[in-house]
Structure 1
Amino acid sequence: MCNKLVSVVMCCYNEEIQWVKKSIESLINQEYKNLEIIIVNDNPDNLDIISLLTRYLKIDRRIKVLFNNKNIGLVKSLNKALLECNGEYIARMDADDVSKLNRIKKQVEFMEKNNEVGLVMSYANFIDEFDNKIGEQRNTPIKFEQIKKILMYKNVAVHPTWLFRKSILSKLKRYNECMYVEDYEFLCRAIINGIILETLPEFLLDYRVRKTSICNSNRLFQQINFQTINKSYIAALKGKPYCILENFDSNNLKNLKYLKFTQDNIYRGKVLINEKKYIKGSILIFFNVIGNRYKINQLINEIKYRMNLKFLNNNFT
């Protein structure tokens, strides 16, 4: 049986203590034992998490904690952790999710049998803030050609299900600063660099859906950034240069102005409704949602994704 070192990368910020504890416990109790668990605390003011992580340092020598002196964000924290990884494989994990106890074993076995694959994902169960199962993510395409095609329309990969070979970082280096879509950009860049991605069709993670995970005010910004990367990805598949590093600007002034305009109008509509001016408020919200070009593009991509998924599943399984 393979016993190669696996580095697990996790970041903490504002998660509930009981969630962080369950997440860490699901790692230290893995059937696959040869792990190093690298945790970055990105909230120096969260004394409860700091205290918990300090206790775990004493419990399990496989755990290493990096304490940020100030909040630097998820992407920088992930890249900081990647620099500390010594394993031949690197697994992602979030501090509020729970890995099945056979997760790492299953994924390593898959990678050992499929030497051409650089990154493997899995299916995931969705759980709420009280650990109740509320759904499943089983629409992640399985084969590489499926994934390559579907990423033209949508990101269906659950980030904390990933396990990849450390060697792919010789081409990819790190996560890029793409706010709210750094995982999607990583996958697009991997494909463009000739890295094979596949999905192990087993439920190996409980993914927690939190009401505050991405607040509504960031959803439009996420969609703007997705479409910026998406255009570059599709162009690269057609043989054009992948120039996301030169073109991507998450602080693009034009997009920020558009975002603020849309949000302000939706807020005004809600105020009008609260003032019992239902017709005016509803009209204002309706036209700012329906007239939102990013929402329209999102809807078009969702339709294309649904149309292609059935075809791909029938032809590549």
Structure 2
Amino acid sequence: MVEENKKVSIIMGVYNGMNTLKEAIESIVNQTYSNWELIVCDDQSTDESLNILNKYALKDSRIKVITNSQNSGLATSLNQCLKYVTGSYIARMDADDISMLDRLEKQVRFLDEHPEIDLVGTEMQEFSEKGYGVVVKNKKNPTKYDVPKGAPFCHATIMVRTETMEKLGGYRISKHTMRTEDVDLWYRFFVGGYKGENIEEPLYLVRMDDEAYKRRKLKYMFHASYIIWYGTSMLKLPVYYKIYCLKPLLSWLLPPSTKKKLRNLLIR
């Protein structure tokens, strides 16, 4: 077992997540690593999400619930959570997913043993009511040259040093980062000269049901393309890297099975 001298602050945004929220929270409550706090921001849910959160907070003092004054989106919710962080490390968690029970333990051990690394992600496995799906992988040691090709880290799996996230200023709020706040974060992360690595093990289960695909609207793909176009200039990459700004749009048109095959080719 890893020493539990480092507190992990897990940040989560919730909007109408009552059907999956309990399972997500239970996966944190039952972690083998117990020195954590779960900071959850409810984004003006209209279902029972807030009531569920408040019940968990009453039972476990490590859980803190805050609310937005109006529905504002994930990036704003996560920034609200960041205001209350007291841990040495910050981890992400989505309200419809599941963390494997030793996820925090293994990521804390990694950061403790690798002081030169600022952020660590993991592989994640897709699941739905039909069962388990493919394992989503990333390069073990991504560099700035990998960012335009696709996400260098699976956003919901990351654990990052608190000082690093503070220097990055959290998530950027603009019309171009709606549903693409992670894409923007990766560009700023590598522009800042930070280093990240991926644990080559699926420590996170990501829900990929019909609702997940419905959320991938075309306008969000345009947002991602915009960020890639300008991000390549921020990273001072060769101009031909701008062609990758077409990738989100093309990806939106492709069936899921083809997307998975292309993704696997890109990370090799």
Q: Alpha carbon RMSD of aligned pairs, Å?
A: 2.5
Q: Distance in 2 between matches of 1:134 and 1:236?
A: 36
Q: Which whole-Å CA distance do the structure 2 matches of 1:183 and 1:294 have between them?
A: 14
Q: Compute the displacement of 1:106 (Å).
A: 0.1
Contact 2:24 2:98 in 1 (8 A): yes
Pair 1:143-2:118 in alignment: no
Aligned residue identity for 2:202: F
Counterpart of 2:155 in structure 1 is 159
Code of the aligned partner of 1:197: G
- Of the structure 1 ranges 61-70 and 191-200, higher mean CA displacement relative to structure 2 is found in 61-70
Aligned residue for 1:315? none
Q: What SS does structure 2 have at the residue aligned with 1:213?
A: helix
- 2:118 counterpart SS class: strand
> In the TM superposition, what is the alpha-carbon distance from 1:53 to its structure 2 partner?
1.2
Q: Aligned partners of 1:199 and 1:95: how far apart in 2?
A: 22
How far apart are 1:28 and its partner, in Å?
0.9
Q: Does 1:180 align with 2:176?
A: no
Instruction: Calculate the TM-score normalised by the size of structure 1.
Output: 0.72
Q: Which runs of 5+ in 1 are unaligned?
A: 241-291, 311-317
**Corresponding residue for residue 123 of structure 1:** 123
Q: What is the SS of the residue equivalent to 2:69? A: coil
Give the counterpart letter for 1:114 in structure 2: H
Q: Are the aligned partners of 1:121 and 1:161 in contact in 2 as well (CA < 8 Å)?
A: yes
Task: Assess if the C-alpha contact under 8 Å between 2:222 and 2:249 holds in 1.
Answer: no
The one-character-per-residue Cα deviations of 1:68-123 (angstroms, maximum 9, x if unpaired) are 33212111111000111010100000011010110000000000111111111000
Partner of 2:242: none
* Paired amino acid for 1:219: K
**Partner Cα separation in structure 2 for residue 294 and residue 63 of structure 1:** 36
SS in 2 for 1:152: helix
Counterpart contact for 2:4–2:35, Cα < 8 Å: no
**Higher RCO, Cα 8 Å, sep 6+:** 2
What secondary structure sits across from 2:149 in the alignment? Answer: coil
Pair 1:131–1:3, CA change in 2 (3 A): farther
- Asked if the contact 1:11–1:74 (Cα under 8 Å) also holds between the matched residues in 2, the reply is yes
Return the structure number with greater helix share: 1
Aligned residues: 250
The separation in 2 between residues aligned to 1:239 and 1:133, in whole angstroms, is: 37
Equivalences for 1:4-43 in 2 at 5 Å? 4-17=6-19, 19-43=20-44
Residue 236 (structure 1) aligns with: 234
Q: CA deviation at 1:236?
A: 2.2
2:195 is equivalent to residue 193 of structure 1: no
Whether contact under 8 Å (2:190, 2:235) holds in the other structure is no
With over 3 angstroms needed to count, the CA separation of the structure-2 counterparts of 1:80 and 1:201, relative to structure 1, is same
- Aligned-pair CA distance for 1:195: 0.8
**Partners of 1:170 and 1:61 in 2: CA distance:** 25
The ranges of structure 1 where at least 4 consecutive aligned residues each deviate by more than 4 angstroms after the TM superposition are 296-299, 302-308
Aligned residue number for residue 67 of structure 2: 67
Deviations 1:24-54 (A, max 9, x none): 01101111111111011112422x2122112
Flag the 1:20–1:305 CA change in 2: closer, same or farther, 3 A. closer
TM-score by length of 2: 0.85
- Per the alignment, residue 208 of structure 2 pairs with 209
CA–CA distance in 1 between the matches of 2:4 and 2:266? Answer: 37
Q: What are the superposed Cα offsets for residues 171-222 of structure 1, whole Å, 9 maximum, x if unpaired?
A: 2111012012111110111001011011011110110113223537x53212
Shift of 1:295: 3.5
Once residues 49 and 250 of structure 2 are traced to their aligned partners in structure 1, the CA distance between those partners, rounded to angstroms, is 41
Shift in alpha-carbon separation, 1:4–1:305, aligned structure 2, 3 A: same
Corresponding position of 2:241: none
C-alpha displacement of 1:298: 7.7
SS at match of 2:212: coil
Structure 2: which 5+ residue stretches go unaligned? 239-245, 254-258
